[in-house]
Amino acid sequence: MAGIGLGFVGYGIMGERLLRAALAHDPAVLRPVGVWDPSPAAMARLAATFPEVLPFDGPEALVAASDCVYVASPPASHLDHAAAILAAGKAAFLEKPLAVDVAAAERLVAGAAGARAAVNFPFASSLGVAQLGAWLEEGAVGAVESLRIEVAFAHWPRPWQMDAAGWLARRAQGGFTREVGSHFLFLARRRLGPLTLLAHSVEYPEGDGDGSEEVIAATLTAGAVPVRLSGRVGGTDKPDHNLWVLEGAAGAIRLRDWSVAERRQPDGTWREAADAMANEQARPLVLKRQLDAVAAMARGEPHPLATLGEALDVQRVVERILAG
């Protein structure tokens, strides 16, 4: 059986990252078909970096040549690309967030029942998250009582995203709540249940009517579990720092800085899992697992990827927070 042919719409940071992983993947499972990006500069960079990858002149030809298409364009374009991919009978793998227009996303999701489609929340394939799950099954937390999510950044966008600052730093499509907070809300949704926003606040930069958020705070529930979410630009010297902390009657576990699973000890200190890895080490393994899941999804087989419904649940919460 030939590997799933994966096309790429968008050749920014995420497009390049997943393309590298796809080129290293087993071609009998999944193989890159080619790339289209409306930016001539992006296509020139593709040609210089990966001359063996086929460039396409437009999305229609790319969709026609692919079994599945990964959409890594800015968020406002996700739904149009997804609709075209699904209308062509192909599988769609969408970068998060699902969209920025909740009503339009609801229409797409309602019309896509049974379609082969998923959203790229890598926590679905995370080794650290798998360790949290194992600890939960062992009873490390006991009855779950609360969840705390914290995200913080020395600056926004992060250093490796500055080429995309034109939209990542703007209110219409960018900001850390969509780009980063959504991952941790997805994890809450996946592990604990549907999200319900109870209260929220947001602060935007003074004097910049289009700047993305600087501070957020929210209380919500995931299933029956109370959740506190906080995020800010500043207050840390790290480019990117985050915590997902689950407390229970018997103890606490957490995910730190994307990939490090930790368990609280009786003396209050945190101990890493024996095989914990920093995000830079874990990322190639996680991307391989994601691509295996993409191939399964495109074949119509069971997979662990985020569903459109899960991504929509996260989007509703994110957009309400950002609306203030």
Query: How many other C-beta atoms are found inside a 10 Å radius of the C-beta of residue 254?
Result: 20
What pLDDT shows up at residue 209?
Answer: 87
DSSP state of 179: I
What is the band of 2 on the pLDDT scale with cuts at 50, 70, 90? confident
| Two structure tokens written together for 233 | 């630009």
The answer to whether the pTM exceeds 0.95 is yes
Output the furthest CA–CA distance in the chain (Å, rounded). 60
**Nearest to 18, CA basis, from 96, 115, 99:** 96
Cβ–Cβ under 8 Å, residues 29 and 295: yes
Topology given in CATH for the domain delimited by 4-120+284-307: Rossmann fold (3.40.50)
**Does the structure show a pLDDT above 80 at 1?**
no
Per DSSP, the chain holds a count of helices (H) and strands (E) of 11, 13
For residues 159-181, give the mean pLDDT.
Answer: 96
What pLDDT shows up at residue 207?
Answer: 87
Strands (E), the chain: 4-9, 30-36, 68-71, 91-95, 117-120, 144-153, 195-203, 215-222, 225-233, 241-248, 252-256, 260-264, 270-272
For residues 111-123, give the mean pLDDT.
Answer: 97
Q: What is the pLDDT of residues 8-55, one digit of tens each?
A: 999 999 999 999 999 999 999 999 999 999 999 999 999 999 999 999
| 124-276+313-323 CATH pick, 3.90.1200.10, 3.10.20.30, 3.30.360.10, 3.40.50.970 | 3.30.360.10
Same fold, 4-120+284-307 and 124-276+313-323: no
Q: What is the pLDDT of residues 136-147, one digit of tens each?
A: 999 999 999 999
**Does the structure show a pLDDT above 90 at 208?**
no
**Nearest to 70, CA basis, from 1, 17, 125, 26:** 17
For residues 107-132, give the mean pLDDT.
Answer: 97
DSSP state of 212: P
Q: What is the pLDDT of residues 246-291, one digit of tens each?
A: 999 999 999 999 999 999 999 999 999 999 999 999 999 999 999 9
Q: Is 129 exposed, middle or buried (0-12, 13-18, 19+ CB in 10 A)?
A: buried
For residues 52-60, give the mean pLDDT.
Answer: 98
Q: Which CA distances in Å does 109 have to 7, 23, 83, 94? A: 22, 30, 10, 12
What pLDDT shows up at residue 311?
Answer: 98
**Nearest to 38, CA basis, from 74, 83, 92:** 74
For residues 189-196, give the mean pLDDT.
Answer: 98
Q: How do the domains of the chain map onto residue ranges?
A: 4-120+284-307, 124-276+313-323
What is the band of 235 on the pLDDT scale with cuts at 50, 70, 90? confident
For residues 158-180, give the mean pLDDT.
Answer: 96
| Two structure tokens written together for 146 | 């609360």
